[in-house]
Amino acid sequence: KAGVTQTPRYLIKTRGQQVTLSCSPISGHRSVSWYQQTPGQGLQFLFEYFSETQRNKGNFPGRFSGRQFSNSRSEMNVSTLELGDSALYLCASSLSPGQTYEQYFGPGTRLTVT
Amino acid sequence: AQKITQTQPGMFVQEKEAVTLDCTYDTSDQSYGLFWYKQPSSGEMIFLIYQGSYDEQNATEGRYSLNFQKARKSANLVISASQLGDSAMYFCAMILYSSASKIIFGSGTRLSIRP
């Protein structure tokens, strides 16, 4: 069974631009969560989607948004990029929200904002 | 406040020795889960082990065991017979079922195994 895939793996953007990251969950998994990982703040929960609906959201500004499609694939978007948005963005999938503890993570997208 | 604390930023252990990674948590919720992830240098997070707040027995998964002490609010990870491939960052995390499955991570412990 294929794992969680994230594209692109690496990305360089400049301040003020916007970016879209993609995540394809494991086949059959319907819950997708997004995390931001930085050296200073560690791992922080961004949001969770299930059945195309956002179920949960972390403490991030409105510049961070996401969506989920009917095939469970998810995208997250960051508008008006700031230097502090440079991070590893991890996506994780699970069978359902009730099994979030047994998430399977993708390799991440490393975003650099210059 | 809900919080996970990992007090060991880094640890060095000799190969084949057992190692304990500390994790304490703070929550007033009754229904929660604790788990550990391993993150190698490649960046991918690997799920290791899970313990529910109502589970009476400590969870074990192969060489990994979770030493759950509810009264002390600790959930230490024990790795028996460490291997060179165990070198990685280890994150303790807590899921709060009353908060729509919100997950909180600790700051991590970097484990280095010496040959």
Residue A97, chain B, CB below 8 Å: the answer is yes
* Interchain proximity A101–B102, CB inside 8 Å: no
Residue B43, chain A, CB below 8 Å: the answer is yes
CA A1, chain centre distance (Å): 21
The arithmetic mean of pLDDT across residues A18-36, rounded, is 95
Residue B44 has pLDDT above 90, yes or no: no
- The per-residue pLDDT for range B62-86, each reduced to its tens digit, is 999 999 999 999 999 999 999 999 9
Please tell me the distance from the alpha carbon of residue A3 to that of residue A27, in angstroms, as a whole number. 8
- The per-residue pLDDT for range A60-99, each reduced to its tens digit, is 999 999 999 999 999 999 999 999 999 999 999 988 776 6
What's the pLDDT at A1? 62
Residue B100, chain A, CB below 8 Å: the answer is yes
- Which pLDDT band, with edges at 50, 70 and 90, does A101 fall under? low
Please tell me the distance from the alpha carbon of residue B19 to that of residue A13, in angstroms, as a whole number. 41
* Interchain proximity A105–B95, CB inside 8 Å: no
* Interchain proximity A45–B100, CB inside 8 Å: no
Asked if residue B45 lies in contact with residue B4, where contact means CB atoms within 8 angstroms, the answer is no
Span between the terminal Cα atoms of chain A, in Å: 37
The arithmetic mean of pLDDT across residues A23-41, rounded, is 93
| Cα dihedral sign, B7-B90-B18-B70 | positive
Angstrom CA distances, B89 to B58, B71, B101, stand at 22, 27, 24
Spell out which residues of chain A touch residue B106, defining contact as CB-CB under 8 Å. Answer: 42
A79 exposure class (CB count in 10 Å sphere: 0-12, 13-18, 19+): middle
Least Cα distance to A23 among A5, A36, A35 occurs for: A5
Of A33, A58, A105, the CB nearest to B44: A105
Question: Cα distance from B4 to chain A (closest Cα, Å)?
Answer: 12
